[in-house]
């Protein structure tokens, strides 16, 4: 495969209904995606059920070797995958974007392959001998999002495959082409039927969640959809890993150096143009350094070019779809109408093609403003002033979500003390959103439950079995 067009050709539907996918930066057609239905899903599940026992029988060593070969295949097609991803999702090639995402796919595959998971002797006292093992679940259903379509698909499928399961994956209707291409590449190194992709709508997702042959659902997306999956899966008592919506808080303590932290603050908030579940979405800054942090952050933001993803100079792209553009626009308008101070942005050029919303910083905003209280999932960051750490912690904990959070300080002990008080699945110190395939990741409150990554992520894709005797 020499170009992304060649890659598109390999996944182009030959028969059946199709849907045109458009570039969110230009409005131009990218390619045709199949429109699968429940019958297609049933065929994929039947194939997965048939293929899974032989895959499980390979053992950890055989499955790990296959995943390592799959990682090599991703790297071999990395540029073609990144080009397609940029056209379909909108994210630029450079910065922590399309090429970064494809590289993360290979990294997560490799980590899932080499992470050790050994049987554990839990009691051996002479009278009792008990060991804990993890067996394959069977067939795992994965439902992915549109913001990091390739990377999050790998977050789901890599540990599930490593643990001896087959996987049926349903990508977002917004970004089916990049996920199809990724699965095509992975399947060059995997047995037939073990991994499949079904590009359907809500009815396909609902059937996947309720299907009696699916033993686990892994889902990344909104809290509302997660709640629907919980209800659909209840009849078959499925295992669930749910990474749901977040509205991550960052707290800047008064001893922080505004200039030193400004760039990391920026990328914590604006990675993937703000379209990241665990991005920094509301920033609490102590009054002593509030103006300085605002100024330094604005200086960094002003230097970050936004535009078409295939332009090598750009590091920020469009919002992926019109619905998300409208959400960001509505929330920023509400902030402006409330009298909040717009430091930069907030006034999109509606004459240009694509769903571009300018990098926007909003200061002097109330904590109950919709831009603060609702997840914007885009390039608009509210900056809230606080007087005491207790006040900041209370505001950070004041919502019903808790995916990630961060604390910024020159004093690590002080930062860790504050971090321990925050209700979130991960709290980073002097960084935000820095996920690592070795470190468990999951949400608190209505940001979901279950852990991904590392040993805990592998365990979550298996059935624990104790042998006592």
pLDDT per residue of the chain (469 residues) written in tens, 0 to 9: 457 788 888 888 878 899 999 999 999 999 999 999 999 999 999 999 999 999 999 999 999 999 999 999 999 999 999 999 999 999 999 999 999 999 999 999 999 999 999 999 999 999 999 999 999 999 999 999 999 999 999 999 999 999 999 999 999 999 999 999 999 999 999 999 999 999 999 999 999 999 999 999 999 999 999 999 999 999 999 999 999 989 999 999 999 999 999 999 999 999 999 999 999 999 999 999 999 999 999 999 999 999 999 999 999 999 999 999 999 999 999 999 999 999 999 999 877 899 999 999 999 999 999 999 999 999 999 999 999 999 999 999 999 999 999 999 999 999 999 999 999 999 999 999 999 999 999 999 999 999 999 999 999 999 999 999 9
Give residue 94's pLDDT.
97
Q: How far is CA 382 from each of CA 251, 276, 304, 367, 391, rounded to the nearest angstrom?
A: 12, 16, 18, 9, 17
pTM above 0.75, yes or no: yes
Return the active site residues: 243, 277
Token pair 């499949």 is found at 196
Collapsing DSSP to helix, strand or coil, 173 comes out as coil
Which strands make up the sheet holding 380-386, listed edge to edge?
341-344, 360-363, 380-386, 280-286, 248-252, 404-408, 426-429
User: What pLDDT is recorded for position 5?
Assistant: 80
What integer pLDDT is reported at residue 12 of this predicted model?
Answer: 85
**Alpha-carbon span 103 to 229, nearest angstrom:** 30
Write the pLDDT tens digit of every residue in 92-149.
Answer: 999 999 999 999 999 999 999 999 999 999 999 999 999 999 999 999 999 999 999 9
pLDDT for res 2: 57
pLDDT digits (tens, 9 = 90+) for 283-326: 999 999 999 999 999 999 999 999 999 999 999 999 999 999 99
Cα 249 vs. chain centroid, distance in angstroms? 17
Q: How far apart are CA 264 and CA 358, in angstroms?
A: 19
How far apart CA 57 and CA 292 sit, in angstroms, is: 60
What domains can you pick out in the chain, each with its CATH number? 4-244+447-468 (3.40.605.10), 248-436 (3.40.309.10)
User: For residue 350, what pLDDT is reported?
Assistant: 78
Of 95, 93, 71, the C-alpha closest to 82 is: 93
How close are the terminal C-alpha atoms of the chain, in Å? 55
pLDDT at 352: 81
């Amino acid at each position: 495969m020499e170009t992304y067009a060649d890659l598109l050709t390999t996944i182009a539907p030959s028969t059946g209904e199709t849907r045109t996918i458009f570039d969110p930066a230009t409005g131009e057609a990218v390619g045709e995606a199949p429109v699968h239905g429940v019958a297609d899903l049933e065929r994929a599940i039947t194939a997965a059920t048939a293929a899974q026992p032989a895959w499980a029988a390979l053992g950890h060593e055989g499955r790990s070797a296959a995943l390592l070969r799959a990682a090599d295949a991703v790297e071999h097609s990395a540029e073609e995958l990144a080009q397609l991803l940029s056209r379909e999702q909108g994210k630029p090639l450079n910065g922590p974007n399309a090429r970064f995402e494809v590289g993360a796919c290979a990294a997560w595959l490799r980590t899932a392959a080499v992470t050790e998971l050994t049987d554990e002797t839990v009691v051996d006292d002479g009278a009792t001998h008990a060991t804990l093992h993890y067996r394959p679940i069977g067939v795992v259903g994965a439902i992915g999002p549109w913001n990091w379509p390739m990377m999050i698909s790998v977050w789901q499928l890599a540990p599930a495959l490593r643990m001896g399961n087959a996987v049926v994956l349903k990508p977002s209707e917004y970004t089916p082409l990049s996920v199809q291409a990724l699965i095509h590449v992975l399947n060059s190194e995997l047995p037939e039927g073990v991994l499949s992709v079904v590009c359907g709508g809500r009815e396909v997702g609902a059937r996947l969640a309720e299907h009696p042959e699916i033993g686990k659902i892994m889902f990344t997306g909104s809290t509302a959809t997660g709640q629907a999956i919980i209800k659909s899966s209840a009849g078959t008592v499925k295992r669930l890993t749910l990474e749901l919506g977040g509205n991550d808080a960052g707290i800047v303590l008064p001893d922080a150096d505004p200039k030193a932290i400004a760039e990391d603050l920026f990328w914590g908030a604006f990675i993937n143009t703000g379209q990241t579940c665990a991005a920094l979405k509301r920033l609490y800054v102590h009054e002593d350094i509030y103006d300085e942090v605002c100024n330094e952050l604005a200086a960094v933001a002003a230097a970050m070019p936004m535009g078409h993803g295939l332009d090598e100079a750009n590091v920020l792209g469009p919002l992926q779809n019109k619905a998300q553009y409208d959400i960001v626009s509505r929330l920023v308008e509400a902030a402006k109408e409330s009298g909040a101070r717009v430091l930069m942005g907030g006034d999109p050029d509606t004459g240009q093609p694509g769903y571009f919303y300018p990098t926007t910083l909003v200061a002097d905003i109330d904590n109950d403003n919709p831009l603060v209280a609702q997840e914007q999932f885009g390039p608009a960051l509210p900056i809230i002033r606080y007087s005491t750490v207790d006040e900041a912690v209370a505001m950070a904990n004041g919502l019903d979500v808790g995916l990630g959070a961060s604390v910024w300080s020159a004093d690590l002990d002080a930062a860790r003390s504050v971090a321990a008080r925050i209700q979130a699945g991960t709290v980073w110190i002097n960084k935000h959103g820095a996920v690592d395939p070795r470190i468990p990741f999951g949400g608190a409150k209505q940001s979901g439950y279950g852990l991904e990554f590392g040993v805990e992520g592998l365990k979550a894709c298996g059935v624990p079995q104790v042998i006592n005797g």
